[in-house]
Structure 1
Amino acid sequence: MKAEGQETKRVPGIKAGARTKRKTLFLQLSWSWKGLVDAFRWDIVVSTVTSDAEIRANMLKSLLLNSLSLLSIYVFDLLLQPLVRDQQKWLHRNMGWFYRVLWLFPVVGASLYLNSSWCSIVANRVYSLRHGSRKAAPSTYTGILTALATSAYRAVMICTSVVITFALGYIPVVGYTAGFVFFCWVDAYYCFEFIWVARGLSLAQRIGHLEERWAYYLAFGLPSSALCMWGSTLANAAVFALVLPSYIIMAMHAKPVPPNPYNPVPALSETSTIQYPSPFVPIRIPIFAPVVWINDRIVRLLSVGGRRSQQYSRGVGMDKKKGMSDTIVESVEEGSGNGASAESLRSAARGGIRVAGTRRRKAN
């Protein structure tokens, strides 16, 4: 026991650490609120759509086709499926199957495919209105190959993200919440992907940008994710396709915070002390690490050709220690980066590698 009148020693470092932790948590909450506010800027969507005919036309096409998809889905779920349930005749029993194959799947598939092109047109138009036209990528042999590689990797990444979202739902107790939170980040990523690509950010830079501002993007993706978590899988996909153009417009006008996650409160003057964030609150959360890891393994499994595949990888400058996300996809999207030369691709396909104008062949 302490003697009477003896003062308790205070450790200033502990109080300062707790104070820094509270400030950092407050900053994260303020960034989340900023993301939520940016996700409800429907006034920007309305003003943008009404002010430009090209944007208005593509938004209208997206609205009509995705509304048709939703109507078809709910006609089946609420009307046809209850009517044909427990029917004895073969035709009646398989009516739902015929409806899905002959009408529902083609309509939803066409809607998702066309919606991606309309979203690209809307994104490019909004970007040009705000920042001016960007330089188009040259239509070369290399550009075609790298565009195909990028599209394939992006498709695999979308599928992987959806699979991980469903897999998280099977975790006891916290599974549904974890899946919903992860889906918020996935939605936010695809809303901002268009402007990131337009600014020339590589895949690694885009992922790092989101993971270092996880609070903002979690809140930004919250409204769209909440709309896409209540219906069937097809209905959720159609709803997301319906609202995606609007959220792309919001993302084009948004300003994610903080500008510098590692120094969120810059010093007011050269003599003032820099206030670093608390080490107990993570600056960067590796949200997409499982997605990128699975993607790279899938791409390697799909790579066929044995020795020729390895020669191709060396010819385009791929490192065995790196995944596809760190090589081709980073440097070639939308004309950003140099990528591989067409000559190196052709020489790699023939079995040799051209370096500095000299062709080297493997010794027999």
Structure 2
Amino acid sequence: MADNFHDILYEIINGLQDGILGTLKIQKLGKAESEETLRKDPEPMTTLARRRAERKKDEVQHKKKEPKIIQRIVLCCAWNGGISLMSILLFNHLLLPVVQLIIAGIFGGSGSNSVWNWIGPILSWTFSALWILPIFVLSKVVNSLWYQDIADAAYFQYRGKPKQFNISSLIADISFSVLLQALFLIQGTLFMFLPIPAVGQIIGHIHMALLYSLYAFEYKWLNMGWEVHKRLSHIENCWPYFFGFGLPMAVLTSLHPSVVISGCIFSILFPVFIISANEASEPKRICSFPLKVFAPVVALSNAIFRRATVGSTNISSGQSKPGVPPTGKPRKRVGISQYSQECS
């Protein structure tokens, strides 16, 4: 049965609701953490009970040392909003105008314009090189660690212990996923430069909304043991819901032309949407026409990984022909490309 406009709109609104209202679960998490901290055991009466109580105290102290969800969210907001974003806004809207006024007061008239034309860019380049670039790189590393702590803690509280991955499989899965997401980001950005502005903006926002949903839900799906092909096919099959879920972030991060400021806005919002993704009621109804937006980047990622695998095999074995071992038998290709064949 084909989906009509009403069904698609309903799923979009449902995803939008889960994305926004899921942020209210932060208060629930804070209460649960405080109740766990205040919970006390009765005073032990026997030696055995006393020993058990001592072990429980050690476990409680260890849990108190573990990072809390609320603490990590506050740190993300303070770092990305208070340090990164605020420093950029103060520099652009306070420091530069003050310096320009000082130059105008010293040189006056047309002379101040010529002096500002070369002093202004020098100040901006110096600030970008000595402050924005290091902070931006450091933020990527720090935020990734904090995001993982938030996702693991939220998943454990909502669903229990996550499933264990084989280390090699996990590294391969994450490597392929990172490459695919980077290519998908490029694909969505290219659509924004289409000659028809309205169409390009709409397609670009659809790409960004689905990508942000993939970012937010991927933590939960990895803990559930989902491989990359299952994650992508789920988004493509239920694209109206995930478009609605990621739409707020796609809109808010596109309001400012600066990539750095948009990145700061994303970093502030993203921890909240991780919690929303853990609490969201994902759709069980599959759309009758899946949106195969990941198919081009899946094929390209497969080609890149296949070429990299063959190249590394040739270097290690010293062969001139790709994929042929010294015995002359064709080498079996093992790689991430198997994960995404169901999506292409």
Counterpart selection for 2:305 from 299, 303, 319:
299
Q: CA deviation at 1:215?
A: 0.8
1:283 is matched with which residue?
289
Using the size of structure 1 for normalisation, the TM-score is 0.68
CA distance in 2, matches of 1:292, 1:188: 17
CA distance in 2, matches of 1:230, 1:154: 27
Q: CA deviation at 1:201?
A: 0.9
Q: Which runs of 5 or more residues in structure 1 are unaligned?
A: 1-19, 263-281, 331-364
Tell which has more relative contact order, 1 or 2 (C-alpha 8 A, sep 6+).
Answer: 2
CA distance in 1, matches of 2:159, 2:116: 62
Q: Identity across aligned pairs (percent)?
A: 22
1:207 is matched with which residue?
232
**1:150-183 Cα distance to aligned partner (Å, 9 max, x none):** 4433332232122112111110221112111111
Q: CA deviation at 1:39?
A: 1.3
Q: CA deviation at 1:136?
A: 4.1
1:48 is matched with which residue?
29
Alignment-mate amino acid for residue 120 of structure 1: Q
Q: 1:126 and 1:93, CA in 2 relative to 1: closer, same or farther beyond 3 A?
A: closer
**1:89-138 Cα distance to aligned partner (Å, 9 max, x none):** 97764222121111111112211221111111111111111111224446
1:72 is matched with which residue?
87
**1:270-318 Cα distance to aligned partner (Å, 9 max, x none):** xxxxxxxxxxxx4311021122223223334545335257479x88852
The question of whether the paired residues in 2 share the 8 Å contact of 1:50 and 1:56 is answered with no
Q: Which runs of 5 or more residues in structure 2 are unaligned?
A: 35-67, 101-112, 317-322
Q: CA RMSD in A?
A: 3.0
CA distance in 1, matches of 2:151, 2:202: 31
CA distance in 2, matches of 1:35, 1:116: 24
Alignment-mate amino acid for residue 90 of structure 2: V
Q: 1:118 and 1:317, CA in 2 relative to 1: closer, same or farther beyond 3 A?
A: same
Q: Which moved more, 1:87-96 or 1:101-110?
A: 87-96
Alignment-mate amino acid for residue 263 of structure 2: A
**1:191-222 Cα distance to aligned partner (Å, 9 max, x none):** 11111111111111001111110111111111
Alignment-mate amino acid for residue 279 of structure 2: H
CA distance in 1, matches of 2:94, 2:324: 56
The question of whether the paired residues in 2 share the 8 Å contact of 1:127 and 1:252 is answered with yes
2:45 is matched with which residue?
none
Alignment-mate amino acid for residue 12 of structure 2: S
1:26 is matched with which residue?
6
CA distance in 2, matches of 1:204, 1:261: 16
**1:48-106 Cα distance to aligned partner (Å, 9 max, x none):** 24533711111111111111111133234434566579646977642221211111111
Q: How many residues end up aligned between the 2 structures?
A: 280
2:280 is matched with which residue?
254
Q: 1:86 and 1:149, CA in 2 relative to 1: closer, same or farther beyond 3 A?
A: farther
Q: 1:87 and 1:147, CA in 2 relative to 1: closer, same or farther beyond 3 A?
A: farther
The question of whether the paired residues in 1 share the 8 Å contact of 2:213 and 2:246 is answered with yes
Q: 1:134 and 1:92, CA in 2 relative to 1: closer, same or farther beyond 3 A?
A: closer
